Structure 1
């Protein structure tokens, strides 16, 4: 998954949070800040410094990355739901056969249904 690897790399390269947005009500501008506990201002509170290139890359890609990640979560959840639905239609604990019979209780059909739910080809 090349796209996911790219998103992970941007997230790992960015500075750990928490991050904040500072707003200037007079100019209607906002800017990104992050505290540096090791640098204290005159009032003893952490100084907020500008962002790194890695952070600008992370922020710049967020508008495309977040919807892509949400779509991927939806796709994976749909697969999980399809697998659960396929398995729910199968008998539990070999209800169809005596437990001493050498019967596989429809395992091949179950496997095929799960593969189909996952969108895989099966024979």
Structure 2
């Protein structure tokens, strides 16, 4: 994906109705195919966001409000890691096995938080 495509997705996500969305599938019943704003303070519903053909569609849309920004943040994190790796490979002596091992260890730490398995 290009940076422009990611930015367009981010702008669409930011332009949506703010706040948490829900289809109340875990609160009311499993047959709610509408998506609403949800106010945690009052535990009430706000504006209807969508009416869907299926419960699964409603669940997907309700979760998209949090899922899309989380996915965009992960893309940004991974791109930063790639940029750092490319910088290291350009500016370090990659003929030295010790340097390669350091770069590899740093990459694993950044990607997996230190979990090598």
Could you say which structure has the higher helix fraction?
2
Give the TM-score normalised by the residue count of structure 1: 0.44
Normalised to the residue count of structure 2, the TM-score between the two structures is 0.46
Q: Which has the larger radius of gyration?
A: 1
